Amino acid sequence: MQHRTLGNTLLEVSALGLGCMGLSFVYGPATEKTQAIAVIRAAVEQGVTFFDTAEVYGPFTNEELMGEALAPFRGKVVIATKFGFRIGPGGVRLDGLDSRPAHIKEVAEASLRRLKVDALDLFYQHRVDPAVPIEDVAGAVKGLIQQGKVKHFGLSEAGAQTIRRAHAVQPVTALQSEYSLWFREPEAEILPTLEELGIGFVPFSPLGKGFLTGKIDETTKFDATDFRNVVPRFSPEARKANQAVVDLLGTLATRLKATPAQIALAWLLAQKPWIVPIPGTTKLHRLQENNGAASIVLSAAELREIDQAAAAITVQGARYPEHLLKLVGK
């Protein structure tokens, strides 16, 4: 597994990370604990050094899982976590955001305990909080960095102007936002801003929440608790229309003796040397498949072929339900 550097702060991580949310949250029932730990530790054995979690995943249970699974690898892996959502007593997620400086400090202390670490490697603001100036947020994290409790500051789904304002107070190491062949909006303004400022990019949902693997079609039934049931892009009609994206990946995958998922990840890796996708999975064989993408190098001609074919496809459906779309790009 090759390594890449996120931002001018020189945070070095594996070229592919592991998004761990789905082990505890969102895509159906939580994975049984021993199986989840097996997946995380297998990722380490395969060269993955970058793991993504958040206090709200569960809530709390995903961080606790990370703390236990990665305990034998302290100092050898980078764990990213996040703050910014309101969570009530007993770990009940509440509506709304909370990035008040006092709350950020409370979250940091709790995450340190759950992750069983002395410092948080990368601490993202999960979503921009319109009620709190981003300068105050960046200042709070800067204070935690000065205290040695946080090593790097990150943002998630933030707009370009917010990124600039935060970066002026405390250098931002990485932005985490959705980016894949079926969601390319960051290319217009976000990627140029990150390149100018020297900030790394961590695409989540690099496989389109599973759709770009080619294992989902309009007949697929999701678990009743699966978040995709309320995502417009995953309506049966949208899935049928969006099959063209998977067919595009499948054509090239067959030629290169790879899988659609591997081509989708290889395409992302080819966009910029400071991009580090974080595909998630609950299955060992999918983990190995995803990590195999790191060794696939697409030629300039193959990248042009993908771009030309993708330009002729209009992806159907919003990537989030309306109430969540309101939280992004601020």
- Among 11-20, 61-70, 86-95, 115-124, the range scoring the smallest mean pLDDT is 86-95
Q: Which CATH class is domain 3-325?
A: alpha beta
What's the pLDDT at 249?
95
Could you give the count of Cα atoms lying within 13 Å of 63 in the half-sphere of its Cβ?
24
Given pLDDT bands bounded at 50, 70 and 90, which one contains residue 92? low
Given pLDDT bands bounded at 50, 70 and 90, which one contains residue 113? very high
Instruction: State percent of the chain over pLDDT 70.
Output: 100
Average the pLDDT over 319-327 and give the result: 91
124 has catalytic annotation: no
Given pLDDT bands bounded at 50, 70 and 90, which one contains residue 152? very high
d(CA 289, CA 291): 6
Average pLDDT of the chain is 96
Average the pLDDT over 232-257 and give the result: 95
Whether the per-residue pLDDT at 161 is higher than 70: the answer is: yes
Angstrom distances, CA of residue 65 to CA of 23, 74, 93, 146, 277: 9, 14, 18, 28, 21
Average the pLDDT over 313-324 and give the result: 93
Give all strands of the β-sheet with 122-125 in edge-to-edge order: 18-19, 50-52, 78-83, 122-125, 153-156, 172-178, 200-204
Given pLDDT bands bounded at 50, 70 and 90, which one contains residue 95? confident
**pTM, two decimal places:** 0.97
Of 27, 57, 124, 179, the catalytic one is: 57
Given pLDDT bands bounded at 50, 70 and 90, which one contains residue 90? confident
**Residue located via tokens 């990035």:** 99
Please spell the DSSP secondary structure of 174-238, one letter per residue: EEEEE-BTTB-GGGTTHHHHHHHHT-EEEEESTTGGGGGGT---TT----TTBGGGG-GGGSHHH
> Which one-letter amino acid corresponds to residue 182?
W
> CA dihedral in degrees (51, 279, 57, 124; nearest 10)?
60
Question: Domain locations in the chain?
Answer: 3-325
Given pLDDT bands bounded at 50, 70 and 90, which one contains residue 187? very high
Taken as a whole, the chain contains a residue count of 330
